[in-house]
Chains A and B, each alone.
Chain A
């Protein structure tokens, strides 16, 4: 518990900054919607009709002229990519930062098992993701009320939920990597976050690449598909759960045996 609280405390500044940045961007997207929607009807068809570009961002599935369609696409880009990068960053540094900063030696000579260190850090990671998303969701809802648009709160909840699951998956995968690396791993983390995002775009572009959808969590955390179908793609979600479990399991296995040099 002490380590868990210490983790939250140590990382509070970055959590506040990420939360503020994502809330701000998402809030702005919603607040400018009324302005956008007046011009939207004309360009909505155009957006849906840009061929592969439209399918890459799921714009062929939803109506860009409706708030939920607009939100799904904007949200997909802001909260999807932003949240993924946040999760990748805090995941990949969660364990490795102790060795990078030289504090592992201080920490690990206290009577804590390696397993409990991993558990505490993992719990702090999940809590940070939940905190960020809760604040972002609350601000989103407040902004929706502020502009008085017509939103489907069931689907909205589902979209947020899918991003939380996505962030937890990316967090878990990078957390697993974090147990293996020693030095700065920020690049690896961001690389993975971006890679997942672009793999999904590739898979959207060409049906022959559909198989790639099993690799990336963006396949189930896809706002446009949720708005269009009202559900998460369970087959992709199941694969995501396997990735999550593998990341977590490998962090325990590796860290219990790791030499702290």
Chain B
């Protein structure tokens, strides 16, 4: 069974595009990263999966159930962390956690206490007294305390300090090891490449790549570094050029043969060619217009 499966999921806000023809397939037990810049359609996709937004066309199935007809059944087994969590003013952390559990018809006090301990959240504070990071922690605990089988997390680590981020990912990895599926959106690529097994890249409302994190690195794009370069670097088809003294590095995506030909016209001492890291892949997918 797929944890998430969408078929040409499309959402228009009036005439404005939200997402268009999104086909997403997340295996059960996966640790899935959803990458894209602001406004690409990450949140629209996620909100459609959760039924907060009704799709214009296409369909989405979560944990084998249709988001249109069986949303309640789906939500019982999903933990969602919004990118910006807002709670009812005047309520204490403990009250919010209890309310969230009760709305699910559960008593999760033991789990909640454990999570508060691990993430160091004071349950006596009122929500409006919480800092952004602490509010995020409360959102995380709300998403985790009922031990769902699918976690949908929208930019989960923004606002968390590095120690908390590590603890948070440790918890997620435990849950993932126990069989739960994790689906998170992010624009922090190091995070995705470190923790995720699979990743999809969304741009302008469309999925433009989806593969294992390892395979995504093999895009045919190479990071080329030239040392002892004499003269100026004037090549067609290169981008993300970084120069430091007589060392220049750039991305090249038009094949090794043409790269070799072009390099022969230059005067340099040494060169290396490596696979770019995910960050550079990201730039590759997003920087197409920026090609020099």
A residues sitting closer than 8 Å to B (CB atoms) are 2-3, 6, 10, 101-113, 257, 259-261
Interface contact A109-B50, CB-CB below 8 Å: yes
Given the known inter-chain contacts A10-B88, A257-B54, A259-B53, please indicate yes or no for A106 contacting B142, CB distance below 8 A.
yes
Q: Is B187 an interface residue when CB atoms closer than 8 A count as contact? A: no
B residues sitting closer than 8 Å to A (CB atoms) are 13, 47, 50-54, 71-73, 75-76, 78, 80, 82, 84-90, 99-100, 102-105, 142
Of A104, A106, A109, A260, most B-chain CB atoms within 10 Å? A109
In the complex, 20 of the A-B residue pairs with CB atoms within 8 angstroms, ordered by the A residue number, are A2-B103, A10-B88, A101-B86, A101-B89, A102-B84, A102-B86, A103-B86, A103-B87, A103-B88, A105-B85, A105-B86, A106-B82, A108-B51, A109-B52, A109-B78, A109-B80, A110-B100, A111-B73, A111-B76, A111-B104
Interface contact A108-B52, CB-CB below 8 Å: yes
Residues on the A chain within 8 Å of B52, using CB: 104-105, 108-109, 259-260
Closest chain B residue to A108 by CB distance?
B52
Given the known inter-chain contacts A3-B103, A111-B73, A113-B72, please indicate yes or no for A260 contacting B85, CB distance below 8 A.
no
Residues on the A chain within 8 Å of B50, using CB: 108-109
* Least Cβ–Cβ distance between A115 and chain B, in angstroms: 10
* Least Cβ–Cβ distance between A257 and chain B, in angstroms: 6
A2 to B73, CA, bound (A): 18
Residues on the A chain within 8 Å of B13, using CB: 259
A204 to B13, CA, bound (A): 46
Interface contact A110-B104, CB-CB below 8 Å: yes
Number of A-B contacts (CB under 8 A): 63
* Least Cβ–Cβ distance between A112 and chain B, in angstroms: 6
Interface contact B54-A259, CB-CB below 8 Å: yes
Given the known inter-chain contacts A10-B88, A103-B87, A110-B100, please indicate yes or no for A260 contacting B72, CB distance below 8 A.
no
Closest chain B residue to A109 by CB distance?
B80
Residues on the A chain within 8 Å of B105, using CB: 2
A10 to B99, CA, bound (A): 12
Residues on the A chain within 8 Å of B89, using CB: 101
Residues on the A chain within 8 Å of B142, using CB: 106
Closest chain A residue to B142 by CB distance?
A106
Interface contact A260-B87, CB-CB below 8 Å: no
A16 to B52, CA, bound (A): 33
* Least Cβ–Cβ distance between B142 and chain A, in angstroms: 7
Residues on the A chain within 8 Å of B103, using CB: 2-3, 107, 110-112
Given the known inter-chain contacts A105-B82, A108-B52, A113-B71, please indicate yes or no for A2 contacting B102, CB distance below 8 A.
yes
Interface contact B87-A106, CB-CB below 8 Å: yes
Given contacts A111-B76, A112-B72, 10 further A-B contacts (CB under 8 A): A6-B99, A101-B86, A104-B52, A105-B82, A106-B86, A110-B103, A111-B75, A113-B72, A259-B54, A260-B53
Closest chain A residue to B82 by CB distance?
A105
Closest chain B residue to A102 by CB distance?
B86
A106 to B142, CA, bound (A): 9
Residues on the B chain within 8 Å of A3, using CB: 103
Residues on the B chain within 8 Å of A2, using CB: 99, 102-103, 105
A170 to B104, CA, bound (A): 32
A214 to B168, CA, bound (A): 61
